[in-house]
Amino acid sequence: MPECAFITFGCKINQYDTQAIREEILDLGYQEVAKAEGVDLVVVNSCTVTERAGLKVEERIKSLTRKNPSADVIVTGCISEDDRERLAEIPGVTHLVGNEEKHRIAEIVTGAELSTGPIKRKSREIFGLKISGFEGRTRAFLKIQDGCDSFCSYCIIPYMRGGSRSRDHQPVLDEAKRLAEAGFSELVLTGIHLRQWGRDLGIEDGLGRLLTELRQIPGIDRIRLSSIGEGAFTDRFLQAFENDEGLCRFFHVPLQSGSARILEAMGRDYSLKDFTEAMDRTRKRLPDATLATDLIIGFPGETEEDFQESMRRVEEIGFAKVHLFPYSPRPRTRAARLPDHVSPEVRHDRMVRAREFCERVQLQVAEKRLGQIAHVLIEKTDPDGGGEGMSREGLRVRVREGEAVRGQEIPLLLESVEGDKFLARHPVREARHA
């Protein structure tokens, strides 16, 4: 039986796509092995959202081809669109498969030819991949959207993944039913622009409606959103979360900069006022919600005052998690051509200070949770009965002892914070009276 291995970089969409590709390859008779060495087939699903990410992927590909000189090495994902000529020169890379043809990888393995015509950046064939499970996880990713029409000045994604497209309504529901039947009680909806789901299908306020329908599927106890734009926080959207505790109140909402001037230079589709008002509405209507964000540090033209404004927004909004990215110029983007690029030294200094500041804010936000009960879906267990998992509010929680069962949701009392995790115990149960 031929052996295969899968390597995934980047976003949750890539993780979903890899799972779908995995299922199709295994159906061909391949056996997956954990260590990608001496195998017959390696599939690398790549990311190139930052320069550093692209270099990391390229180094791994070179290592894989050296360790598997006789293997078919298929490289797909964004790097296959971005650095095609350079990757083609790596000995051992047998196929470069763009994002629009990911759904054909199993065919290609069996001898089908890659398309030679122009890339159809609005094709709906990208949703040809589907899953029935999710390897090694207690919660499953469900891809409902792909692509982006925004063309923010720093971002390469629209060039790599094409325009915004929604997955058809019924296939989403059908896949959710399959995952529920396979024992997955939590779904994580994934997409580049989740809030745009349904627009190209003519469905008004589509995401809120879809959430409601998914929760009606037996066995789906929790639904989580991967990342969502500020424009999603409409009355109808917030009302859905108010009315249903099974909709997880964790929102990863990318801000990118707390400076109005820099936001405008980034070409984001919202103002600083729009963003802060959306977060204020969410805090008022869902006070127990967890808010996370992304920030780009050292964007061209960013001054010390711009940087400090970003830090102030982190504290004022009270983000529980901040993902920090040093700006890196990407080919074809407008930002790469802007003047006044921040020097590497200044960018590094601001990254160091941003990490320290955000960690302090995150700790302050976390400590306000202590003494609360969190409902935690256990993802892994210890021999002594302890375990670790994630709450409905997106909190990483560890219980040291008890009866933690993988795949089961249990109430836990948050007692302390250790790094990025909460330590918890089982709450004292009231004695039952006869």
- Among 18-22, 118-122, 385-389, name the one with the lowest average pLDDT: 118-122
Asked if residue 321 has pLDDT above 80, the reply is yes
At 122, the pLDDT band (50, 70, 90 cuts) reads: confident
Residue 190, C-beta contacts closer than 8 angstroms, at least 6 positions apart? 11, 12, 13, 15, 16, 141, 142, 143, 144, 145, 226
Among residues 278, 45, 312, the alpha carbon closest in space to that of 161 is found at: 45
Asked if residue 431 has pLDDT above 50, the reply is no
> CB neighbours (10 Å) of residue 71?
22
Tokens of 230: 């500020």
- Please give the backbone phi and psi of residue 247, each rounded to the nearest 5 degrees, phi first: -85, 110
Residue 401 is predicted with a pLDDT of 77
Distances (CA, A) of 83 to 91, 153, 160, 403: 15, 20, 11, 49
Average pLDDT over residues 372-392: 92
Tokens of 115: 């398309």
Which pLDDT tens digit goes with each residue over 255-272? Answer: 999 999 999 999 999 999
Phi-psi region for residue 111, left (φ > 0), alpha (ψ -120 to 50) or beta?
A: left
At 83, the pLDDT band (50, 70, 90 cuts) reads: confident
At 86, the pLDDT band (50, 70, 90 cuts) reads: confident
Identify the bridge partners of residue 151 per DSSP, sorted by sequence position: none
Residue 57 is predicted with a pLDDT of 93
Give CA torsion, residues 45, 133, 2, 107, to 10 deg.
Answer: -60
Same fold, 3-109 and 138-364: no
Length of the chain: 434
Average pLDDT over residues 290-318: 98
CA–CA separation, 123 vs 121, rounded Å? 6
Looking at residue 99, its amino acid is N
CA–CA separation, 296 vs 313, rounded Å? 13
Asked if residue 88 has pLDDT above 90, the reply is no
Among residues 268, 228, 271, 284, the alpha carbon closest in space to that of 252 is found at: 228
CA–CA separation, 43 vs 22, rounded Å? 9
H-helix or E-strand containing 185? none
Average pLDDT over residues 276-286: 97
Residue 428 is predicted with a pLDDT of 66
At 107, the pLDDT band (50, 70, 90 cuts) reads: very high
Residue 126 is predicted with a pLDDT of 86
Asked if residue 434 has pLDDT above 80, the reply is no
Residue 430 is predicted with a pLDDT of 43
CA–CA separation, 54 vs 46, rounded Å? 8
Residue 433 is predicted with a pLDDT of 35
Asked if residue 71 has pLDDT above 60, the reply is yes
More confident position, 390 or 51: 390
Sequence ranges of the domains in the chain? 3-109, 138-364, 373-425
Residue 265 is predicted with a pLDDT of 98
Q: Find out if CATH 3.40.50.300 is the number for domain 373-425.
A: no
At 137, the pLDDT band (50, 70, 90 cuts) reads: confident
Give percent of the chain above pLDDT 90.
82
At 118, the pLDDT band (50, 70, 90 cuts) reads: low
Q: What is the CATH number assigned to the segment(s) 138-364? A: 3.80.30.20
Among residues 239, 150, 151, 242, the alpha carbon closest in space to that of 196 is found at: 150
What pTM value is reported for the model? 0.93
Which pLDDT tens digit goes with each residue over 188-220? Answer: 999 999 989 998 999 888 898 899 999 999 999
User: DSSP string covering 255-310, please?
Assistant: -B-S-HHHHHHHT-SS-HHHHHHHHHHHHHH-TT-EEEEEEEES-TT--HHHHHHH
At 35, the pLDDT band (50, 70, 90 cuts) reads: confident
Considering the four listed CATH numbers 2.60.40.10, 3.40.50.300, 3.40.50.12160, 3.40.50.2300, the one that applies to the domain covering 3-109 is 3.40.50.12160
Average pLDDT over residues 10-24: 96
Distances (CA, A) of 76 to 91, 157, 161, 400: 16, 14, 12, 41
Strands 396-399 and 421-425: parallel
Mean pLDDT over each residue of the chain, to the nearest integer: 93
Tokens of 19: 């799972």
Average pLDDT over residues 140-167: 94
